[in-house]
Structure 1
Amino acid sequence: MKTLSATLALIAPVRAGLRFPCSTLTVQRLDPVVEPGKIPSAHVHHIVGGNAFNATMEGDVGERATCTTCQMSEDFSNYWTAQLYFKHPNGSYHRVPVIPVQPLLGGSEGAKAGLTVYYTQHDLFRDNLGQQKITSFKPGFRMTVGSPTVEGKPQVGLRYQCLQGQFRGPELDDFPTGPCSGGIFTTHHFPACWDGKNLDSPDHQAHMYNTIRSDGFVAAPACPESHPVRMPQVTYETVWDTTQFNNMWPAGEPNPFVWSFEGTSGGTHADYMFGWKGDSLQRAMDKPECFYDGCGSITKQDMAVANQCTIETMVDEPVEGWLDKLPGR
């Protein structure tokens, strides 16, 4: 089994886009894509990115934000997932903290919690799309992947791994069945084929087409005629630090972790709100040298600077500590 850094060393020579950390911006009940204008939204989200994040977000987000928790300083997008909670045998809940993915790989240290974002152009191991042009998202673009209403197995491309120290385990379509010494690792691969017309759709998914068959990083087929525009493959990676709860998980008992909507593994989902400045993302997609966090055409910032970016708490309710019930439930 390879470490994460060893795996990246193998694929680094391939032209494959960007990979960078974003610290946590806020954890609260807001969702400007699915529930615009609603304060609070139905369940708690873990949110990173630009400080224009609000209950309502229309138009060019990148022009309104003044800072970002992401390493790429021209990226004022917002990225969020549902929040993971531990359910104690006594019925109470505790928010599972997040630890950065980045230290597992070396470089770009300093992120506070958060998640790691990918914008890939094609298969990480080979250019299976024949140098097809990758078109950047447009101002106002947003999308979701997955759904809290899904029961059973999650959508393809939404996966779990049981980390053992710095080693990944096999990809799972369910929560791990036993304690993980390094935490639970979640992956959210978004669709990458656009209809070329709509910045959003009623279900926030129909304007995109998902070509993922198993792993979003490999073997992506061409886009269909209905959604002919190839866009960057956006992926989130998050490490949930479940280790502090391992001794509270009774041996032989079912998984004790739930998403913030009181949901099981199948309901894992994520939201994306585009907010790159000007043509910065298109420049990155056009440059053959852009890989990992190295991209000469894009300005980076020290994570100590990114960590100073904050927003106000708009929902006055406890989300930390031991709770009798999940917020909003």
Structure 2
Amino acid sequence: MKFLSAVAFIAPVQAGLRFPCSTLTFQRLDPVVEPGSNPSAHVHHIVGGNAFNSSMTGDVSTRATCTTCQMSEDFSNYWTAVLYFKHPTNGSYHRVPVLPVQPLLGGSNGAEGGLTVYYTQFDLIKDNLKQNAPIKTFQPGFRMTVGSPTASSRPHTGLRYQCLTGNNRGPETPDFPTKPCSGGIFATQHFPACWDGKNLDSPDHQSHMYNTIQSDGFTNAPACPSSHPVRTPQVTYETTWDTSKFNSMWPSGAPNPFVWSFEGTSGFGTHADYMFGWKGDALQRAMDKSECRYDGCGSITKQAMATANKCTVKDMVGEETVGWLSKLPGSEGNVAWYYPYWKLAPPLYKLN
């Protein structure tokens, strides 16, 4: 799949990293929200380092031996809920495949499924590439989430969908597309980029971060507040869900038949998790480059995606998540996760 008119989607200032990560696994595990639980409440699509498991603390980069990401020093883990098609007639479910997000200028990057990750440098840009604050990268043990499966109205800024038709992306919307998309559904999740500088986590996995962006997409952000004074890279995920093969089963005029893996019939519940795992100061070196243009920033070694695609983890849950299913995996226990999910949070992790 190739997308033309890519210029329309390039950030106002192209400063930062942009790279593909192939799929690592689809499993019902969540070491941020439900640490130690096997299985967790719903299925996730996970990419990144092979240290991923149900309980992750400390510096995960020291335990990973490979990564599905193009940046060879990035052993972080990135995951989202999984999109399923719910058959309008018999109510059965089928997991929607993931397509690799193509580079902005077209062509294949060799990824298998997965998602594209951004680490964006800019905050308040006053003069060309002049930044208002230095970028400080995350510390070992850092984790965060964005969005909430309980959201029932307009979601967090930057959590959006686009309907892919032919060679074009449609406008960004806060909810699922209301008609079939011939090229699939494109989902984007932007994380906040202001940190309190103390906590590597918080009870809701979000309060240690703060978002100053009021509009959607890749936009220049106002300065961080005194409560969260540290400017970090803005982390963003992009995923292409290949819904095209289910379009013939979507009756004309019928409601959207796609749901998230927590039985989220509304797109407002889209959310994502992040676990930092870069090796040493690799990410900081990249963010210190003022002329970084969505590449390796001249300081990070890229691995061939053919190598990245070989990175795997074992099936730790042992359940079927593909094919036609009578119910979603974990559906009988989902309520215990998302209401109130923050009661399952781990203790706060603070810098020494």
TM-score interval for Structure 1 and Structure 2 normalised by the shorter chain: over 0.9
Deviation digits for residues 50-76 of structure 1, max 9, x if unmatched? 000000000001111000000000000
Structure 1: 4+ residue segments shifted above 6 A: none
2:28·2:317 contact (CA, 8 Å) conserved in 1? yes
1:16–1:124 CA contact under 8 A, matched in 2: no
Matched, 1:31 2:24: no
1:168 shift after superposition: 1.1
User: Normalising by structure 1, what TM-score?
Assistant: 0.95
Corresponding residue for 2:138? Answer: 137
Superposition map of 1:60-139 within 5 A: 60-89=59-88, 90-102=90-102, 105-106=105-106, 109-122=109-122, 130-139=131-140
* Aligned amino acid, residue 165 of structure 2: Q
Q: Deviations over 1:76-125 (max 9, x none)?
A: 00000000000001100000000011256435610000000000011698
Alpha-carbon distance in structure 2 between the residues aligned to 1:155 and 1:62: 29
1:124–1:22 Cα change, 3 Å? farther
Structure 1 stretch 99-108 or stretch 111-120: which is displaced more?
99-108
C-alpha distance in structure 1 between counterparts of 2:184 and 2:63, whole Å: 36
* 2:241 is the alignment partner of 1:240: yes
Specify the SS of the correspondent of 1:238.
strand
Deviation at residue 46 of structure 1 after TM alignment? 0.2
Q: Residue 196 of structure 1 aligns with which residue?
A: 197
Determine the C-alpha separation between the residues in 2 that align with 1:103 and 1:318. Answer: 32
Q: Deviations over 1:264-319 (max 9, x none)?
A: 21111000000000000000000123222242100100000000000000011110
Q: TM-score, normalised by structure 2?
A: 0.89
239-248 or 285-294, larger mean C-alpha shift: 285-294
Amino acid at match of 2:330: G
Distance 1:124 1:300 in 2: 29
Contact in 1 for aligned 2:47/2:115 (Cα 8 Å): yes
Q: How far did residue 45 of structure 1 move?
A: 0.2
For 1:179, the equivalent position in structure 2 comes to: 180
- Alignment partner of 1:266 is 2:273: no
What SS does structure 2 have at the residue aligned with 1:266? helix
Q: Distance in 2 between matches of 1:252 and 1:63?
A: 52
1:208-248: CA deviation from partner (whole Å, max 9, x where unpaired) = 00112122411311100000000000000000000000000
Task: Choose 302-311 or 121-130, whichever is displaced more.
Answer: 121-130
Cross-structure match for 2:316: 314
Instruction: Show the counterpart of 2:215.
Output: 214
- In the other structure, the counterpart of 1:295 is 297
Counterpart residue type for residue 49 of structure 1: G
Give the number of equivalent residue pairs: 326
How far apart in 2 are the matches of 1:201 and 1:3? 41
Is 1:279 the counterpart of 2:278? The answer is: no
Q: Distance in 2 between matches of 1:21 and 1:248?
A: 31
Q: Say which is worse superposed, 64-73 or 285-294, in terms of deviation.
A: 285-294
**Structure 1 residues 67 and 292: CA distance shift in structure 2, 3 A:** same
Are 2:18 and 1:16 equivalent residues in the alignment? no
Please list every run of 5 or more consecutive structure 2 residues that lacks an aligned counterpart in the other structure: 332-352
- Unmatched 5+ residue regions in structure 1? none
Look up the equivalent residue of 1:146 and give its one-letter code. Answer: G
Partners of 2:21 and 2:114 within 8 A in 1 = yes
Counterpart of 1:247 in 2: which secondary structure? Answer: helix
CA distance in structure 2 between the partners assigned to 1:274 and 1:154 by the alignment: 24
Which secondary structure does the structure 1 equivalent of 2:168 belong to?
coil
Q: For residues 114-158 of structure 1, what are the alpha-carbon distances to aligned partners after superposition, in whole Å with 9 as ceiling and x for unaligned?
A: 000000011698758735200000000000000111112222210
Report the AA paired with residue 70 of structure 1. Answer: C
